[in-house]
Amino acid sequence: MAGPLQRFLQIRRDEVAPVVASALCFFCILTALMVVRPAREALGMQRGIEAVRWLFIGTAVVTLAVNPVFALLVSRYRRQVFITATYLFFAGSLLIFYALLVMAPTAIGEVSGMVFFVWFSVFNLFATMVFWGLMVDQFALEQSKRLFGVIALGGTLGAIAGPWLASRLAAPLGTAGLLPVGAAALGLAVVAALVVARLQPQRPEVDSAAPRGVDERAVIGVIDDIGVIGGSMWEGFRKVVQSRYLLGIAAYILIFAISATFLYFTRLQMVAALGDDLDTRTAAFARIDLYTQAATLGLQALVAGHLMQRVGVPVTLALLPVTVALGFLGLAMTASLATLVVFQAAFRAVDRAIMRPARETLFTVVPRADKYKAKAVIDTAVYRGGDVVGAQVEGVLSGLAAGVSALVLVAVPLAVTWGALGLWLGRAQQREAGRHRAAAPGAASPRASDT
């Protein structure tokens, strides 16, 4: 990597290989998700917008059912085993759906479309959750602030590559032919994850910025990949309830999911108002996705890695709530599709390029078990709970026939609360990191002048 580019991206020489491997892993995961996503959207909308609200409830129920199974894997098996098992399970599921589409096409109807919608939504959550769990386990807090934005860039490129592959391969292979492509991408993601684990040594469970002269490995110790996390599969739920810090993260994710669902159904309502023509709707969704990915790519390449370093995690976590408040106010004033496109692009760009990397750094100061168990509960069960709440509240507000104006009365105050919570979490993370450093073996004793 050229010197100036390396300095701009804030990557040290010994970090280049693991960062590239991590970005490649995320690229493959997002490629798999986005190449299959058109099939999910097409099948899920067969029964209208109201049916989608109920599909959100189905997704939450299935997520709650799958979570204990994942927690059991985390408790009983080595990290690389349950990571590999998760991706191979979803890859195998894609191949099963492919076989059904090819061998029994007449059986594919509204019910099977809803099943696929729910399955994809669960797949989407667990695939990204496992990846970021690996990242916060491998990289220390100081590294995460510099590198997670660059790593997330690989996911954005995958989110662009997936739709591009779908548009190129849909005609010659058909919709069913896209599913094995997604399965192959997940297989490559497994290989990349193995490479990351080999290239990036296991980091301590807290910030690696140990006192000068103290070996980083002496802070807590390096746990190699042969270790089993242990504990019960319900430990993640207990950890979240018992920790004010983890409860704060859960509340932050809950409000994020509610706000994202408000925006999701607003988009469905506005695009549906364009007419019943399938091509018109598809073009509108494609235009929104295109602008979103372009804006995300620009923010990740130019801003994300430097922003957390310059303004800190607290301010970074508050940026998306500010975006949501301004976006819904803009929709209330104009109620135009153009405003929606700008809002959607800004929301996803700030989420993926800035907020998500900052949010993941919150887990770098928690014990290793929490990085997988508690994180899984927050990123799946809590997230899907927010989806359900958001979908039902939006449905009630839509029934009032007040349009976006009624939604603004709920979304804006919620965004203000969300932003305040983000500031608190960022400061709490700093306190946790400082507390662990102060308790590290070999930490320097206070000087007389400090006492």
Residue 257's pLDDT is: 93
- 59-110 pLDDT, tens digit each: 888 888 887 777 777 777 777 888 888 899 999 988 988 888 777 665 555 6
Model-level pTM? 0.70
Residue 41's pLDDT is: 63
Q: Where are the alpha helices (DSSP H) in 14-109?
A: 16-44, 49-76, 79-103
Neighbours of 234 (CB within 10 A): 15
For 263-288, what is the mean pLDDT? 69
b/e string for 38-59 if b means 16 or more Cβ within 10 A?
bbbeebbbeeebeebbebbebb
Instruction: Examine the pLDDT at 439 and tell me if it is beyond 70.
Output: no
**Integer Cα distance of 338 and 334 in angstroms:** 9
Between 209 and 305, residue with greater pLDDT: 305
Give 444's pLDDT tier (boundaries 50, 70, 90). very low
Count CA within 13 A, CB hemisphere, residue 87.
31
Instruction: Examine the pLDDT at 399 and tell me if it is beyond 80.
Output: no
- 181-214 pLDDT, tens digit each: 999 999 999 999 999 888 876 554 444 443 333 3
Residue 140's pLDDT is: 79
- Return the closest-CA partner of residue 179 out of 101, 266, 111: 101
Phi, psi (deg, nearest 5) at residue 124: -60, -45
Give 1's pLDDT tier (boundaries 50, 70, 90). very low
Residue 432's pLDDT is: 79
Residue 183's pLDDT is: 93
